[in-house]
Amino acid sequence: MTPSSDATLSFLSSVHPYDSLPQAELATLAGQIAQRRVAAGETIYEAGQPLEGLYIVQSGQVDVFDTTGHQISALGPRNSFGERGLMRDGRAATTARAATEALLLVLAPETFRALTEDHTAVRRFFERGAAAAPARRSDLSTQKVEALMARGPISVAPDATLREAAGLMRDHNVSCLCVVEGERLTGILTTGDVTERAVAEGLSGDTPVSGIMTPGPFALSPAALGSDVLHAMLERRIGHLPITEGGRLVGIVTQTDLTRFQAVSSARLIGEIARAPDAAAIAQITANIPSLLAQLVAAGNRHEVVTRLVTDIADAATRRLLRLAEDRLGSPPVPYLWLACGSQGRQEQTGVSDQDNCLFLSDDARPEHDAYFAELAAFVSDGLNTAGYIYCPGEMMATTPRWRQPVRVWRDYFRGWIAKPDPMAQMLASVMYDLRPIGGNEGLYAGLQRETLEASAANSIFIGHMASNALKHTPPLGLLGGFATIRSGEHKSELDLKMNGVVPIADLGRIYALRGKLTEINTRARIVAATQAGVVSPSGGSDLLAAYDLIADLRLTHQADEVRNGHKPDNFMAPSSLSALERSHLRDAFVVVRTMQSALSHSHAVMS
């Protein structure tokens, strides 16, 4: 079936990386695309089969499975799939099945290859996706034990009594205790030991643990692999495995830990969210995000893969809440579009995120319709807060009437900010230039982004003010080249890897997008596109990209470590926790950011 070229063109204009193509080439591409409608449960292709082409989901949901039948992706509108096989031998590397009735656009293999050969940005987009795809599933057997183990296991001394040990197990809801002398592991006591060696034999509650425990238990080091744990448990028929380093107890791995690790995946969480009956159920699912983040980082995924998968979960939660809101309130009186801004808009969410969102309403909306959309916004925003995406402190949410308006009002907002770039306008524009549609009628946003970029780029005064605003967040470098850490308070002597690390780079990326009229929203994609478009020099773009990757990866590694240590993830890291080499690299990365900020400041000083 051949779709309408105009309809396909409109759709592709909102899909990355096709939105980066010149309009004439995009129109030509739209005319070459076929359309395929699939029923719920229908297999689109099997692993090993020749591929019909590259698929783009226009509507509905598609699940992708690896060769073992494990689900690795849950794809919705605007997602592509099939590129791994096309970039190799033309045969499918996975199996794709429609989870719901779906409408797919299909680019023939020769069209896809020509597209990637002619456009570097498109080729790199799919190369990154193809490289990241195998890592979407974290393989338990190749995981380091330090990523699997529970740190700080509950322990007792050998002379502790059976009664005391049983009380500890009950109070901490654990099935084993490590027996230590000082920090050295000497034995292990499990609920099985208590039952079989104590209760069954009628031992007194005053019996010392040393008389019941398993002495000299088998242990592994944190550097061992998950396969070592699995093999040891199967061969020795044990369910608890202490982890030691130089004889010192540092953690423990249980069968429960292994089951929990295998159960957590972004695809599974999204699938469960899609069926959740209410916000409380969604919250139980999103509570797994910290574990997922730690697992993804431990598997060696780069920051842009981890944050994309984490953001996909927030998107799914938002769309589910929108559906639940409509079920409760009835059909909307006019079309609407829910958009995210901030880190969700840029697809850069980590284990610490608040919510930033807004509503675009059809220009047919009348004042009496606002009651419906106010209730819808409150339902969704409250639900997101319940699910762990806390309310925006600045009330940059659809619950605020100002951010819940017809498209014509939004168009006036952007025109006003560009025409009169006062400090408030700069702040608001910096947030709203990161808008990304999440749920609803995407046609309400079509064209507005390009229109706004054109107007922004044509106003050098506005760009200059935006650039000055972007330079307010600076990397934490002291006068003598050292780190300028936080001076007082809870995070004294630490670095804020968000506000002084990734945010300055996100600000730079946004300015590059404005200067080059680039439609990319993700920070990394903006830097790549700006370099290719000549907005940034090749050397400057390459250095900034490397600096961003290092800082963003380090931030996620820190958050993953916090999760594994039983803490809530945050953005504050002590430089002393890094090796001398790591501190040197981080300092160099901050110097690059400061250099690029100086270059931006100088270029706008010259222009003015």
Residues 585 and 220: their CA atoms lie apart, in Å, by 32
d(CA 62, CA 74): 6
Residues 130 and 176 in one domain: no
**Distance (Å, rounded) from C-alpha 147 to C-alpha 274?**
29
Rg of the chain over Cα atoms, rounded to whole angstroms, equals: 27
Whether 131 and 156 map to the same domain: the answer is no
Say if strands 248-254 and 80-81 run parallel, antiparallel, or are unpaired. Answer: unpaired
Final residue in a domain of this structure, among 408, 440, 460: 408
Contact present, 158 and 181 (Cβ < 8 Å): yes
Range of the domain at 151: 142-254
Q: 520 and 550 in one domain?
A: yes
> Is the domain of 597 the same as that of 479?
yes
pLDDT digits over 233-268, tens only?
877 888 899 999 888 899 999 887 776 666 567 777
Does residue 374 share a domain with residue 285?
Answer: yes
CATH number at residue 177: 3.10.580.10
Same domain (yes/no): 322, 297: yes
Angle ∠(369,374,376) on CA atoms, nearest 5: 100
In DSSP terms, 156 is beta-bridged to 179
Q: 51 and 31 in one domain?
A: yes
Which parts of the chain register pLDDT below 50?
1, 131-137, 606, 608
Q: Rounded to whole angstroms, how far apart are CA atoms 597 and 608?
A: 17
Same domain, yes or no, for 83 and 146? no
Please indicate, yes or no, if residue 342 is contained in any of the structural domains.
yes
> Is 434 among the domain residues?
no
How much is the pLDDT for 99? 87
- List, for residues 143-164, the tens digit of each pLDDT value: 788 878 888 899 999 999 999 9
Residue 463 lies in a domain: no
Domain boundary among 378, 408, 438: 408
Both ends of the chain: CA-CA distance in Å? Answer: 54
User: Which CATH number is 132's domain given?
Assistant: 2.60.120.10
Burial letters 440-456, b for 16+ CB under 10 A, else e? bbbbbbeeebeebbebb
- What's the gap between Cα 55 and its chain centre? 23
| Beta strand 240-245 pairing with 248-254 | antiparallel
> Is the domain of 202 the same as that of 336?
no
Is there a single domain that holds both residue 394 and residue 270? yes
How far is Cα 332 from Cα 373, in angstroms, rounded to an integer?
Answer: 8
Q: What pTM, to 2 d.p., does this model score?
A: 0.67
Q: How many domains does the chain divide into?
A: 4
Output phi, psi for 419, to 5 deg: -75, -35
How far is 99 from 267, CA to CA, in rounded Å? 12
Q: Is residue 297 part of a domain?
A: yes
Do 201 and 250 fall within a single domain?
yes
Shared domain for 176 and 272, answered yes or no, is: no
Domain end residue (candidates: 362, 378, 408): 408
- Structural domain contains residue 414: no
